[in-house]
Each structure stands twice: as C-alpha cells, then as structure tokens.
C-alpha cells in the first residue's frame, strides 16, 4: 500500500503544480523537487518485495514520509488560500506571518527530501547486504513454500465426505459434467475463499456415479505461484506414478529419451506431449484443477488435454470469474453461502460429533453460527475450537460477539486462507479500493453510486485514459465482485449493481490490515481510541461521546465518515469539525440532521472533494462553497421530497464539480451575474428547480456535458417548457432524464398542492419529449393519464402516478421498437388495461407493475417475445396472470410482492418448468 500512498501524493502534487500554481507561490520549485524525489522512490517501491523485515521497514518509512510531505504541502496551500481571501488591509497586517510560513515550509520540504535520500541510500545498502546472504533468502523461500503446503493441508482437513449444504451444488455440477455433448468441456466452480469450492469439487470427484462415467480421474492442486511445468509434472505424477522408472528403462534400451533420465529436465512442450499421449489412450477422462488463479496458467497447459469427442471433462475451482469465463464458453457455477439451517447443522455435527446439542446451549450456538454469515470455513474452524473446550454456557458466552477475533488468530490460519491469497493477488490499483470496504459498518448495504464517487475523490482512480473516472471506478468494483471479494446485495431493474457488501470476516480483516498501514481506523462504542495516525476515520458510535472523551490531533485526517446513531449537527459539532479537520477531502456525514443550514465557513475546507449530508430537512448551502475549487461531488440525499434545497446561483464557479444531488429540487438563489462561464466537468444535477435563472444557464450552454438530469417543474412556470426543451436538445451527452410535474409549494402547510397553473394539461407538454433523441432512460412522476410521446431511443421508461392508461397511450408504448424496461406505478384507485396484441412490445425484457387497484391484462400470441422478468407489487385486485406468459421462451423470473389471496393460491399451486424462478413476498413492506 505504500506505493499507492506515494502515487496518490504524486498525483496530488502534480495537480497542484498544474492547476493551483498561485497557491504554491514561493515554494513551487521546492514542490517540483519533492515531486521528482517521490517519483524515484515510487520506482523503488514498485520493484520491492516487502516479505522480509528490512523491506517492510523501508516501506513503512517511505509511507510515513510521504504522508508528512502531503501534510506540509496541504497545510501550506490551505493557509495561503485563506490569506488570499483577506482584504488588502488584512493581507498587509498578516504579511509577517506569511513570510514566516514561506520560510518554515521551505525548510520542512528540504528536510523531507533529505530524509527520502537517506531512506533510499539505506535501502540500497541493506539490499546489497541481503543479496550477499543468499542462504537466508533461500530459507525464507522454503519457509513460504512450507507454509503454503500447511495451508493446503488445512483446506483439505476442512473437507468431509458428507458435508451439509452441498447436496444441491453437487447435483448441479454432476449435471453440468454429464451435459455438453461429446466435445471436451470445462466446468467451473467460483466463490469466495473458504466458501467450500474444493469441498464441493471433492464431493463430486468422489461420487460413485462420476467415477463410473470416466475411465480416468485425476486431481491436481494449483497454487497461486504455480508454473506450467510444475502443473504438468503434478499431472504426470498422478497419471503415471512410475513414469521415471519407465523413462529410465526406455533410455537403457536406447530408445526415445536418450539425453535425460530425469523428467524434471524435460521441457514444457515435452511434458504436455506426455500428458496428452496418456489421456488420448483413455476412453473418457476427468481432470480437476483445484484453485486456478491465472488465465495464463490455463493457456500454457490446455493443449495437454486432448479433445477427441469422447465427452472429456475438466473441472476448475477458482475465486476469479475471469478465469472461469476464459476457460469455457459455459457460465460458471457460483457457490452460495450456507443457509442458517445448513450452517447450524454443520456446526452441530462438528462440535458434538453425532450427539445432540444440549438445549441450553442451542441459542448461544446459533448466535455464534449466525456471526459466520454462512462461510463454511469459519464454521468448521470455530466448531473445532469449541469441540475441545468445555461445553458450557460460560465458555460459549466468551465467543458470542467475538467470533471474528477468534477466527483471525494466527493459529487458525483463516486470515491466510480467506484474505491473504486474494489480497496479495490483487493488482495494486484495486488494493486500496478493497480495503475501503472496512470503513463501513457490519451488515451495511453499501450504495454503489456514492462509493464509486468516493473512490474518485480519494484519488484511487488515477489511470483513466480519457475515460470518465466514474466508469473506471465501476470497472474496479466489478473486478472485485468477479474476484469473489465483494457480494452484490441489490440489483437495479436495468441490471447494474445498486448496493453491495462484503462478508464480516473480510471486513474485519480489512480493518486490521488498514490499521497497521495507517489507512483508516474505525471508532465504535467499544473502542473510541485512535491508536495510530490514520488518514481516514470512520465513526460507528455516538459522535458527541467521542468529542467529549477525545483530545486527539486530527490534522492528518483526509476522510471522515459518520455511520453512528443519527443526531442533530449543532454548533458544537460543526465547530469541532472546522477546527480539527481542516485538510479533509471526503466528508460523509450520513443521515445526520443539519437543522436546515450549513455554517458559512464551509469554504474553510479548502481541499474538500466530496461532501455528503443526507438530511431530512431542507438545506441551505452557504455561498462560501463556491470557493471550494477541488469540489467534485455534493450529495444531499436521494430525490424523494419536494422541499427545495437552496444553492448559490453562481454555481458555475465550481469548475471541478461533477455531481450535484438533492433530496429535493435544487433552487438557485442569490444574485446571478449573467456570466458566460461553462461547467465542463458537470455530469449530474439531480434534481433542479426550473426557474428563470436555471433556464438562463441552460440556454447559454453552461452545462454542456450533463449525462443525468432531474427536473422539478412547477405548474406556475407558464411558457417556460418549450424553451427548456429546446435547450435540452443541445445536451448531446444527456441520456438519463427524470421529470417531476408538481403543483405549488404551500409554505403554510409545508407541502405541495395539486393545483396546476400551466394553462394546459401537463400531458400536452409531454408531447414534445419526442424531440429528445439522446435520452435512453426516462422517468416521469405525477403523469396522471398516459399521453406521452416517448423519445425514440429510450430503452428504460418509468411512469409514476398513473391514474389510467388510454388506448392511444398504450399504443405508443407497445409499438416502441427499443423499449426494454418498463415500470408503471399507479396509486391506490388507479386502473390499468394492458391489451398486448401480436407483435406488441417487441424488445421488452423487464415489466414492473405497482399499486394498481384494477389490472386487466391480455397477452396476445407473439407479444412481449423477449420478456424475461415480471415484477408485480401491491396490485391487490390482480388474481391471475395470462396463460401465454408461461409460453414465452425467454421468461425466467416472476417476483410478486403483497399478492392478493387468489394470486397467492395460484402461485403456490403453479407448476412450471425449472427455468422460471418464482419469488413471492406476502408481507407488508
């Protein structure tokens, strides 16, 4: 991680030199000199293997000096920026202070450069000493190999012949091995470390029916550092255990192998030929490659496995989806966590070995098992520990609430099995992103959109190659998911990941790793002491309690997170923030109430890049925010209210602002100077209140690169709609548009009235939407009756507040040639008549119906031919579904929430093919 730290500091310095040279006035040459020195140090770090104590010490020293350099420069920049805001008289009065500041920072930079030089010289000197001591290096390598062998042995010891929870999985894998015809086929099992991939593969491998189906079965373990030659030698060892003797005899007879008697001296090609010749003589073979890590390992050995149209199979286990997709065209089998019942059965069997669990211990045992979150390795290791302890309430009570502490002790080696291989195998760019998950509380569903924007603000996304950094960050997340380190919690209707989480054991290991490397620390109710000087601080406790009990220096903190109990941010809390966290870049205040107004000195956070306040009140943003030239994201919550958020009208001063979100419409307030400045970086405004100032900015092209836009349109804006549509046509990058049609906000009652003053029906205004050819996602709220011209390239359409759908409106939807996802939301009392004729909805894949009192649905033959998912939520009068639905070849999933009783009975009695998944939630949400 030290190399990441240096890279972040280098990136930060280069940005300052390029964009903020005026703030470095007087020390610019010193900063450039420091930048060059750090570049040299970074090269050393990227070629350093930090396995021994000397290298670890060097890496730790470099990390601390890089942090010190960052603190010195950032503190100087903040003080200069605040000085420049003073009046002319103020600058004169503080001129001496500024001269002293310049002198002090110059000296500190010189000291840092000297320290870096010393570290580099010491590193070279000690490395030369170590190179002369080849014996110690060889011993370290041998110890590492022995440790890996012990880890493999531990994994094997976890296995059982009749492990619970793998019956369904083994049946699925055996079915996949039987299918696929006579061509050679690769079947993959993918899952997190410790989830039981090897156990499942072993269960399949030892199955008598599998053994009978193959004349040759061989199992090979592939280590993370395995080479093609080692893998082939291992295969030969299992296939032909007497090969060395055979080769020696051939050599003695003067036959083929005349030069070498030792198979270890054969080339990779010669070894592949031997393996291939042996397997070709078999009627049908099964090869298991356990724990495959690299696609290149497969590329180098796959020629050894002949495809002779005999139904040969190769079974692969891996943590990496990339490996599975590379080795086969068939989708992998994703191993799931154990259910609560399966987890308890595995634990009980391991602890009591066939005996019954005492009644008084069962509640405690189930609490312990629940903490394992369905990870078989955790359950087996914990059960092994408790099996050798006194089976008493007193002993088991010690374990409850401290499961991960027991699991991460060195003697269990769980940390190495679950995390170390996966973490060490990560590319450098992904390591800080993965450790970041430890910042969030246990069992926390992490919203993906804010997470990605935080990564960007943190500087984790450095190599974008002219791509949008948010898109690159999303790629990073999907890589972590594909590596079985992050799990998907919720999916959008469009198929993207909405929320995610990680296993609690992984989270604890992230916290432990990060504390040692000073990446971040977590303050909880049980532990509010900061032991190191971390760069990030995450509160999972009452902030007031921490403030009153801590006098720590927080000047090193760059990111601050609050996930504790929700509270009101008072003047004392804000004063504490502004006083102690002047260099903060990421500020996540969570769902804390800001009493409607953020203090005017928000602009003192000179380096702030990301601000999130999810308040339940309408918020007034002070004009000082306009001085935050590094600000990228302002997140004030998800849009669900209509109470305006007041934002300074001269928002165009925020040159680096990329995203602006609000729980209610953003209303621009204050004097608008009429500037022609352009916000080239702005990608999102969601939502914004349409008024004269907003229209003026849009008409001038102030937001040319908007991708996502939310519009809150009040009914009293007569005559503004055509001008707005005309300006939206110029936004060539805009593809997501949400429109909320609303009445007037009545301050006396604090709500929105339903009185429209458009001078026409709102549906008439929506007829002009067809002009927006760039839009692919469209959402409209309070649409009433469906009379809308859908833009021609829309693939996802959401309509809320529908009271009825006319024949003309339905025709417009069902004849749309690109519509793939359709969500229709009514209200209690709403009626819908879906008469889907032949050829209607030709591209529709997902249909969602919600809150309709009356639904009349007819599905003609040939309608909705591509529909694969149907979601029905709270449609109480919908008692049945069209019979034609089950004949759709693409149909795969039906999800019904709060069904009527007749619908519930119909679904329970329904007999459909295995290809369709039926999910029923009959509880109130």
> pLDDT by residue (tens digit) across 355-378?
888 888 999 999 999 988 888 888
Q: What is the pLDDT of residue 759?
A: 43
Residue 94 in this model has a pLDDT that exceeds 90: no
| Same domain for 435 and 399 | no
Give the range among 134-138, 287-291, 477-481, 856-860 with minimum mean pLDDT: 134-138
| Same domain for 220 and 104 | no
Q: Are strands 216-221 and 285-290 parallel, antiparallel or unpaired?
A: parallel
Token pair recorded at residue 716: 């009293």
| Same domain for 806 and 919 | yes
Quickly state the pLDDT bin for 169 (edges 50, 70, 90): confident
Token pair recorded at residue 924: 């109130």
- With contact defined as beta carbons under 8 Å apart, do 335 and 189 qualify? yes
Give the range among 152-156, 471-475, 609-613, 907-911 with minimum mean pLDDT: 152-156
Rounded mean pLDDT of 100-108? Answer: 78
| Same domain for 886 and 820 | yes
Residue 585 in this model has a pLDDT that exceeds 90: yes
Query: Among positive and negative, which fits the CA dihedral 426, 431, 433, 436?
Result: positive
Give the range among 78-92, 444-458, 829-843 with minimum mean pLDDT: 78-92
Q: What percent of the chain has pLDDT over 70?
A: 82
Residue 218 in this model has a pLDDT that exceeds 80: yes
Q: What is the pLDDT of residue 238?
A: 83
Q: Mean of the per-residue pLDDT values for the chain?
A: 81
Give the range among 194-208, 464-478, 530-544 with minimum mean pLDDT: 530-544
Domains held by the chain: number: 5
Q: Tell me the per-residue pLDDT of 262-299, one tens digit each, with 9 for 90 and over.
A: 677 788 898 899 899 889 988 899 999 998 988 999 99
Residue 477 in this model has a pLDDT that exceeds 90: yes
pTM higher than 0.75: yes
With respect to residue 481, please indicate whether it lies within any of the assigned structural domains.
yes
Q: Tell me the per-residue pLDDT of 33-82, one tens digit each, with 9 for 90 and over.
A: 887 877 777 777 766 665 566 677 777 888 888 888 888 888 888 878 77
Q: Cα separation of 322 and 293, whole Å?
A: 9
Q: What is the pLDDT of residue 259?
A: 37
What does 288-349 look like in DSSP terms, one character per residue? EEET---HHHHHHHGGGS---SS--EEEEEES-HHHHHHH-SSPPEEPPPPPHHHHHHHHHH
Q: What is the pLDDT of residue 626?
A: 94
| Same domain for 310 and 187 | yes
| Same domain for 206 and 318 | yes
Rounded mean pLDDT of 476-495? Answer: 90
Residue 746 in this model has a pLDDT that exceeds 80: no
Q: What is the pLDDT of residue 91?
A: 60
| Same domain for 70 and 7 | yes
| Same domain for 365 and 286 | no
**Ramachandran class of 459: left when φ > 0, alpha when ψ lies in -120 to 50, beta otherwise:** left
Burial 583-621 (b: 16+ CB within 10 A, else e): bbbbbbbbebbbeeebbeebbbbbbbbbbbbbbebbbbb
Of 148-152, 449-453, 560-564, the range with the highest mean pLDDT is 449-453
- What is residue 713's three-state secondary structure? strand
Contacts with 748 (C-beta within 8 Å, 6 or more apart), sequence order: none
Domain that holds residue 284: 166-247+262-334
Tell me the CATH number at 436.
Answer: 1.10.10.10
Q: What is the pLDDT of residue 566?
A: 66
Q: Cα separation of 485 and 925, whole Å?
A: 30
Query: CA angle, corner 509, sides to 423 and 394, nearest 5?
Result: 145
Residue finishing a domain among 420, 443, 463 = 420
Q: What is the pLDDT of residue 90?
A: 63
Q: What is the pLDDT of residue 777?
A: 95
| Same domain for 430 and 414 | no
Q: What is the pLDDT of residue 856?
A: 83
Q: Cα separation of 630 and 617, whole Å?
A: 26
Q: What is the pLDDT of residue 304?
A: 92
With respect to residue 688, please indicate whether it lies within any of the assigned structural domains.
no
Q: How far is CA 909 from CA 513, 902, 912, in A?
A: 52, 11, 10
Output 903 or 259, whichever has higher pLDDT: 903
Of 106-110, 148-152, 241-245, the range with the highest mean pLDDT is 106-110
Quickly state the pLDDT bin for 567 (edges 50, 70, 90): low
φ, ψ at 295 (rounded to 5°): -65, -30
Of 461-470, 622-631, 640-649, 716-725, the range with the highest mean pLDDT is 622-631
- With contact defined as beta carbons under 8 Å apart, do 722 and 750 qualify? no
With respect to residue 747, please indicate whether it lies within any of the assigned structural domains.
no
Q: Tell me the per-residue pLDDT of 687-713, one tens digit each, with 9 for 90 and over.
A: 898 887 888 888 888 899 999 999 988
Q: Tell me the per-residue pLDDT of 21-40, one tens digit each, with 9 for 90 and over.
A: 666 677 778 878 887 877 77
Residue finishing a domain among 519, 550, 575 = 519
- What is residue 872's three-state secondary structure? strand
Residue 260 in this model has a pLDDT that exceeds 60: no
Q: How far is CA 203 from the centre of its chain?
A: 32
| Same domain for 205 and 123 | no
| Same domain for 312 and 219 | yes
Q: What is the pLDDT of residue 487?
A: 92
Quickly state the pLDDT bin for 756 (edges 50, 70, 90): very low
Q: What is the pLDDT of residue 286?
A: 94
Rounded mean pLDDT of 758-778? Answer: 72
Q: What is the pLDDT of residue 754?
A: 44
Output 151 or 734, whichever has higher pLDDT: 734
Contacts with 405 (C-beta within 8 Å, 6 or more apart), sequence order: none
With respect to residue 67, please indicate whether it lies within any of the assigned structural domains.
yes
Rounded mean pLDDT of 235-259? Answer: 63
Residue 760 in this model has a pLDDT that exceeds 50: no
With respect to residue 777, please indicate whether it lies within any of the assigned structural domains.
no
With respect to residue 753, please indicate whether it lies within any of the assigned structural domains.
no
Q: Tell me the per-residue pLDDT of 823-871, one tens digit each, with 9 for 90 and over.
A: 999 876 777 888 888 888 999 999 999 988 888 888 888 899 999 999 9
Half-sphere exposure of 39 (CA within 13 A, CB side): 10
Q: Cα separation of 318 and 332, whole Å?
A: 10
Rounded mean pLDDT of 152-178? Answer: 71
With respect to residue 205, please indicate whether it lies within any of the assigned structural domains.
yes
Quickly state the pLDDT bin for 148 (edges 50, 70, 90): low
| Same domain for 408 and 306 | no
Half-sphere exposure of 720 (CA within 13 A, CB side): 20
Quickly state the pLDDT bin for 752 (edges 50, 70, 90): very low
Tell me the CATH number at 224.
Answer: 3.40.50.300
Give the range among 172-181, 738-747, 904-913 with minimum mean pLDDT: 738-747
Q: What is the pLDDT of residue 628?
A: 93
Task: Taking each helix axis as running N to C, give the angle between helix 362-371 and helix 340-352, from 0 to 180 degrees, rounded to the nearest 10.
Answer: 120
Burial 779-791 (b: 16+ CB within 10 A, else e): bbbbbbebbbebb
Residue 346 in this model has a pLDDT that exceeds 50: yes
Output 183 or 139, whichever has higher pLDDT: 183
Quickly state the pLDDT bin for 750 (edges 50, 70, 90): very low
Of 84-93, 405-414, 835-844, the range with the highest mean pLDDT is 835-844
Rounded mean pLDDT of 466-471? Answer: 91
Q: What percent of the chain has pLDDT over 90?
A: 25
Measured distance between the N- and C-terminal CA atoms of the chain, rounded to whole angstroms: 43
Q: What is the pLDDT of residue 719?
A: 57
Among candidate residues 550, 552, 590, 549, the one with its CA nearest the CA of residue 568: 590
Rounded mean pLDDT of 532-551? Answer: 80
Q: How far is CA 709 from CA 174, 621, 690, in A?
A: 50, 20, 12
Q: Cα separation of 511 and 524, whole Å?
A: 12
Quickly state the pLDDT bin for 254 (edges 50, 70, 90): low
With respect to residue 32, please indicate whether it lies within any of the assigned structural domains.
yes
Q: Cα separation of 486 and 436, whole Å?
A: 12
Q: What is the pLDDT of residue 925?
A: 47
Residue 436 in this model has a pLDDT that exceeds 80: yes
CB-based burial label for 630 (10 Å; 0-12, 13-18, 19+): buried
Q: Is the peptide bond before 807 cis (omega within 30 degrees of 0)?
A: no
Q: Cα separation of 823 and 848, whole Å?
A: 5
Q: What is the pLDDT of residue 749?
A: 40
Residue finishing a domain among 519, 553, 573 = 519
Q: Tell me the per-residue pLDDT of 801-818, one tens digit each, with 9 for 90 and over.
A: 887 777 777 777 888 889
Q: Cα separation of 665 and 687, whole Å?
A: 5
């Amino acid at each position: 991680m030290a190399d990441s730290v240096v890279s972040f500091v280098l990136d930060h310095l280069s940005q300052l030199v390029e964009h903020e040279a005026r703030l470095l006035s007087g020390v610019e040459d010193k900063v450039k000199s420091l930048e060059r020195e750090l570049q040299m140090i970074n090269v050393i770090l990227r070629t350093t293997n930090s396995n021994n104590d000397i290298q670890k010490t060097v890496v730790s020293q470099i990390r601390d000096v890089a942090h010190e350099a960052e603190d010195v420069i950032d503190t100087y920049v903040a003080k200069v920026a605040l000085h420049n805001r003073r009046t002319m008289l103020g600058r004169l009065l503080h001129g001496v202070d500024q001269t002293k500041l310049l002198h002090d920072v110059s000296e500190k930079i010189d000291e840092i450069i000297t320290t870096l030089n010393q570290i580099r010289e010491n590193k070279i000197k000690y490395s030369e000493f170590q190179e002369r001591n080849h014996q110690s290096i060889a011993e370290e390598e041998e110890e590492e190999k022995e440790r890996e062998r012990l880890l493999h042995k531990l994994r094997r010891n976890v296995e059982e012949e009749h492990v619970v929870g793998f019956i369904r999985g083994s049946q699925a894998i055996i079915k996949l091995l039987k299918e696929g015809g006579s061509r050679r086929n690769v079947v993959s099992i993918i899952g997190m470390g410790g989830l039981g991939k090897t156990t499942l593969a072993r269960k399949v491998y030892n199955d008598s029916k599998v053994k009978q189906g193959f004349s040759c079965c061989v199992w090979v373990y592939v280590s993370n550092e395995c080479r093609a030659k080692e893998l082939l030698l291992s295969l030969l060892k299992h296939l032909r255990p007497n090969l060395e003797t055979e080769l020696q005899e051939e050599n003695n007879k003067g036959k083929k192998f005349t030069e070498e008697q030792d198979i270890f001296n054969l080339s990779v090609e010669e070894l592949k030929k031997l393996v291939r010749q042996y397997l070709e003589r078999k009627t049908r073979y099964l090869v298991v490659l356990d724990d495959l890590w690299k696609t290149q390992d497969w590329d180098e050995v796959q020629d050894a496995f002949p495809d002779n149209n005999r139904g040969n199979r190769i079974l692969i286990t891996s943590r990496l989806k990339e490996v599975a997709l590379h080795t086969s065209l068939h989708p992998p089998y994703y191993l799931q966590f154990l259910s609560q019942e399966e987890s308890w059965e595995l634990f009980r069997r391991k602890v009591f070995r066939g005996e019954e669990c005492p009644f008084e211990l069962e509640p405690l045992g189930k609490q312990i098992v629940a903490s394992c979150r369905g990870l078989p390795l955790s359950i087996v290791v914990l059960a092994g520990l408790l099996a050798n302890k006194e089976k008493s309430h007193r002993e088991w009570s010690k374990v409850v609430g401290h499961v991960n502490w027991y699991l991460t002790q060195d003697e269990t080696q769980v940390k190495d099995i679950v995390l170390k291989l996966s973490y060490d195998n990560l590319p450098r760019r992904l390591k800080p992103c993965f450790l970041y998950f430890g910042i969030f509380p246990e069992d926390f569903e992490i919203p993906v959109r804010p997470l990605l924007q935080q990564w960007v603000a943190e500087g984790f996304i450095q190599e974008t190659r002219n791509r949008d950094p948010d898109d690159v960050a999303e790629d990073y997340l999907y890589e972590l998911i594909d590596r079985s380190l992050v799990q998907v919690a919720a999916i959008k209707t469009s198929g993207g990941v909405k929320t995610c989480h990680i296993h609690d054991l992984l989270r604890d290991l992230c916290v432990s790793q990060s504390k040692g490397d000073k990446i971040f620390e977590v303050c909880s109710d049980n532990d509010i002491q900061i032991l190191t000087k971390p760069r990030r601080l995450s509160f999972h406790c009452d902030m007031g309690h921490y403030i009153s009990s801590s006098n720590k220096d927080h000047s090193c903190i760059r990111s601050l997170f609050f996930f504790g109990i929700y509270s009101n941010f008072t003047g004392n809390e804000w004063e504490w923030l502004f006083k102690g966290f002047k260099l903060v870049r990421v500020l996540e205040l969570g769902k804390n109430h800001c009493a409607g107004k953020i203090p005017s000195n928000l602009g003192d956070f000179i380096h702030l890049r990301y601000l999130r306040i999810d308040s339940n009140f309408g918020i007034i943003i002070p004009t000082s925010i306009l001085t935050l030239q590094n600000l990228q994201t302002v997140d004030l919550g998800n849009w669900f209210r209509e109470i305006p958020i007041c934002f300074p009208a001269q928002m165009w001063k925020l040159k680096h602002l990329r995203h602006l979100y609000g729980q209610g419409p953003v209303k621009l307030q204050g004097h608008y100077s009429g500037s022609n400045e352009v916000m080239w970086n702005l990608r999102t405004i969601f939502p914004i209140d349409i008024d004269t100032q907003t229209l003026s900015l849009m008409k001038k092209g102030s937001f040319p690169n908007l991708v996502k836009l939310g519009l809150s349109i009040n009914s009293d804006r007569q005559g503004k709609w055509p001008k707005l549509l005309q300006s939206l046509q110029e936004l060539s990058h805009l593809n997501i548009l949400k429109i909320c049609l609303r009445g007037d906000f009545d301050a006396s009652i604090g709500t929105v009235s339903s009185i429209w003053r458009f001078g026409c029906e709102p549906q008439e205004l929506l007829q002009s939407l067809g002009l927006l050819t760039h839009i692919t996602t469209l959402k409209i709220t309070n649409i009433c009756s469906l009379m809308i011209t859908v833009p021609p390239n829309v693939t996802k359409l959401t309509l809320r507040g529908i009271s009825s759908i006319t024949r003309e409106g339905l025709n417009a939807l069902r004849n749309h040639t690109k519509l793939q996802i359709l969500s229709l939301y009514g209200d209690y009392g709403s009626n819908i008549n879906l008469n889907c004729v032949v050829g209607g909805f030709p591209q529709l894949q997902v249909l969602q119906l919600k809150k309709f009192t009356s639904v009349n649905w007819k599905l003609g033959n040939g309608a909705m031919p591509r529909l694969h998912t149907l979601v029905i939520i709270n449609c109480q009068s919908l008692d049945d579904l069209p019979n034609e639905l089950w004949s759709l070849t693409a149909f795969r999933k039906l999800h019904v929430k709060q069904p009527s009783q007749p619908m519930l009975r119909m679904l329970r009695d329904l007999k459909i093919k295995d290809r369709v998944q039926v999910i029923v939630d009959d509880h109130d949400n």
